[in-house]
Homo-oligomer: A and B are copies of this chain.
Amino acid sequence: MAVTETDPALTRLYADFEAAGLLPLWTQTADLMPTSPRPKARSHVWRWKELYPLAERAGELVPVGRGGERRAIALANPGMGGRPYATPTLWAAIQYLGPKEEAPAHRHTQGAFRFIVEGEGVWTVVDGDPVAMRRGDLLLTPSWAWHEHHNTADRPMAWLDGLDIPTVAQLDAGFFEFGPDDITDYATPDQSRAERLWAHPGLRPIAAANRPNSPLSAYRWAHTDAALAAQLELEDEGHEATIEAGHAGVRFTNPTNGRDALVTMRTEMHRVRRGSRTAERRTVGSAVWQVFLGEGAFVVDGERLEVATGDLVAVPSWCPVTIEAATELDLFVFNDTPIYEALNLARSSVRR
């Protein structure tokens, strides 16, 4: 039995395969089942100083509201073939709301969060509960929660939206519903009701049930900042607290089960001391980082990417990453690790 690619019998067989809705594995094993992950997504930086002016121009030209639904501009990874995906599993966008603008309510099975690099004045109303959006805060709009936004200020506001859109699309699991055309609640409380119920360390309301996604709608910067500062202080005092020397980190969690705040996305805040450099880490799964404050560099697969406040970096699966802090460097990150943990596909390695 000898086979050549030009064997006419083989050519006929392949044609018959195609006619029958079949494709052989042996001609594409390497592509379907690589030796190690070969992500199409690339490591990439989007600069805040470019993003923000473009969002402003969109604010002038594009209305927000029913139909288009949100003035969100997605990061399109250059390796993803023109799809609006930051990585194969993560959708990331700058959402922009002009002075006094509103975005009416909808809900969807896609889980979402907002992270605020700068600004304030917008309230997002999540399942009827108005939540203030302010610098440094992480806000959740979990799967199937109603949400609408309104800007009470005379100034625009822009923020990072993160969603699991690619995963839900790949899984054909998307449902979407429109709410009322008008904003349902213009209240502007300092604290949401969810925070009043849940933002007490280690305490839970007896009356509340467990939930797959966190019931805590907002994680405020004051808490996050204090937690990161405490870790570095404890390190200075000689105690175990940080991820590694000079590198503090907290994970946003669901207080009902101690797991990730959102089922499909891990969210964390990191602080790297000025002059520190993290170990080189690689993880199966992809991530999007945003510099919250400071300057430094990501070294991804040997390529050095300088970053400053607001910049966003996509890191594809299994790419080695080192982070260097030129100043004290605060970093927000979201990734898809909960999916890999759930499916027994998680792998990681550290090289110090």
Q: Judge whether B251 and A23 touch: CB under 8 Å.
A: no
State how many residues of chain A have any CB contact under 8 Å with chain B.
Answer: 133
A247 to B339: give the CA distance in the assembly, Å: 33
Q: Judge whether A255 and B75 touch: CB under 8 Å.
A: no
* Interface residues as binary, A29-48 with B (CB distance below 8 Å gives 1, 0 otherwise): 10011111111010010100
Question: Given known contacts A1-B63, A46-B22, A72-B24, is B223 in contact with A203 (CB within 8 Å)?
Answer: yes
Shortest beta-carbon distance, A272 to chain B, in Å?
Answer: 13
Q: Nearest chain-B residue to A108 (Cβ)?
A: B33
Does chain B have a CB within 8 A of A71?
yes
Most B CB within 10 A of own CB, among A7, A25, A82: A25
Q: Which of B204, B234, B250, B285 contacts A258 (CB 8 A)?
A: B204
Number of this chain's copies in the assembly equals: 4
**A44: chain B residues within 8 A (beta carbon):** 21
Kindly list 15 other residue pairs between chains A and B, CB separation below 8 angstroms, not including A25-B73, A253-B255: A9-B57, A22-B51, A22-B73, A22-B75, A23-B76, A29-B69, A32-B91, A171-B285, A193-B241, A203-B219, A203-B251, A203-B253, A206-B249, A255-B258, A263-B343
Q: List chain A positions with a Cβ less than 8 A from chain B.
A: 1, 3, 7, 9-10, 13, 16-17, 20-29, 32-39, 41, 44, 46, 50-51, 54, 57-58, 60-63, 67-78, 82-84, 88-89, 91, 93, 108-110, 143, 165, 167-177, 193, 196-207, 210, 212-214, 216, 219, 223-224, 226-227, 230-231, 233-234, 239-243, 249-258, 261, 263-264, 268, 284-286, 316-318, 336, 339-340, 342-345, 347
Could you pull out 25 A-B pairs where Cβ atoms are within 8 angstroms?
A: A13-B57, A16-B57, A17-B54, A20-B51, A21-B46, A23-B73, A24-B73, A25-B73, A26-B70, A28-B84, A32-B169, A33-B165, A33-B176, A35-B176, A41-B172, A89-B171, A171-B317, A196-B230, A196-B233, A197-B230, A198-B201, A203-B251, A207-B231, A207-B243, A342-B343
